[in-house]
């Protein structure tokens, strides 16, 4: 058997914490439609989505710093060049998503005139942009479309990890355990 190199404990924790936060952010925004507009429950779902996105945005910078500092352990046995290239593209896409989506979400909220309240208070984060419904609509569409596309990217990421573990039988998945 081969030596199983792993990501650092901090990177593994950040990976799984962010995975849970992303799932919850998607769940919150998808479930908001179970509640009528203007209800406290719907407002709570939207605010949860906002704050999970902000949390993801903060954590991605910590994760990037850790990833740059510690790198990634080698996959054993080594990947063919084409798989290695796809892996790098996938990781760039994931990190870009973690940065771009929260920014788009905040811009959408601000230009739509929606308050992002500090949890358990009536204090709103200051809006850095003026209300502009046309721009808000365009930003919301972009935020939504990228979010929809990322169901596929996240699904591909999961399927690829399972492929490596069960079919290729390398240590890709083990590195993140």
Pick 9-176's CATH classification: 1.10.260, 3.30.1490, 1.10.287, 1.20.950: 1.20.950
- For 32, 49, 53, the CA distances from 28, given in Å and listed in that order, are 6, 6, 11
Mean pLDDT for 30-48 is 96
Residue 5 pLDDT: 87
150 within 8 A of 97, measured Cβ to Cβ: yes
Q: Record the pTM.
A: 0.91
Question: Cα 114 to chain center, whole Å?
Answer: 22
Residue 2 pLDDT: 46
Find, among 153, 21, 165, the residue nearest to 87 by Cα: 153
Q: pLDDT by residue (tens digit) across 85-110? A: 999 999 999 999 999 999 999 999 99
Burial 73-98 (b: 16+ CB within 10 A, else e): bebbeebeeebeeebeeeeeebeebb
Residue 123 pLDDT: 96
Is the pLDDT at 81 greater than 80? The verdict is yes
Q: pLDDT by residue (tens digit) across 122-174? A: 999 999 999 999 999 999 999 999 999 999 999 999 999 999 999 999 999 99
CA atoms within 13 A on the CB side of 172: 19
Query: For the chain, which residues make up each domain, given as ranges?
Result: 9-176
Contacts of 145 (CB under 8 A, 6+ apart): none
Q: pLDDT by residue (tens digit) across 40-69? A: 999 999 999 999 999 999 999 999 999 999
Find, among 118, 140, 114, the residue nearest to 129 by Cα: 114
Phi, psi dihedral angles at 91 (to 5 degrees): -70, -40
Residue 130 pLDDT: 97
Residue 177 pLDDT: 87
56 within 8 A of 21, measured Cβ to Cβ: yes
Question: Could you tell me the two tokens for 122?
Answer: 């009536």
Residue 4 pLDDT: 60
CA atoms within 13 A on the CB side of 167: 6
């Amino acid at each position: 058997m081969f030596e199983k190199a792993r990501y650092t404990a901090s990177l593994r924790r950040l990976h799984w914490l962010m995975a849970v936060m992303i799932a919850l952010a998607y769940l919150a925004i998808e479930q908001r439609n179970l509640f009528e507009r203007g209800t406290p429950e719907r407002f709570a779902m939207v605010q949860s989505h906002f704050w999970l996105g902000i949390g993801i945005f903060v954590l991605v910078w910590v994760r990037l710093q850790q990833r740059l500092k510690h790198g990634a352990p080698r996959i054993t046995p080594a990947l063919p060049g084409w798989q290695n290239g796809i892996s790098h593209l996938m990781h760039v896409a994931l990190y870009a998503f973690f940065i771009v989506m929260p920014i788009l979400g905040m811009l959408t909220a601000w230009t739509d005139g929606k308050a992002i309240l500090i949890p358990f208070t009536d204090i709103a984060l200051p809006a850095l942009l003026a209300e502009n419904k046309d721009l808000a609509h365009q930003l919301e569409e972009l935020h939504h479309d990228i979010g929809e596309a990322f169901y596929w990217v996240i699904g591909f990421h999961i399927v690829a990890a399972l492929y490596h573990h069960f079919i290729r039988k390398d240590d890709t998945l083990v590195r993140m355990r």
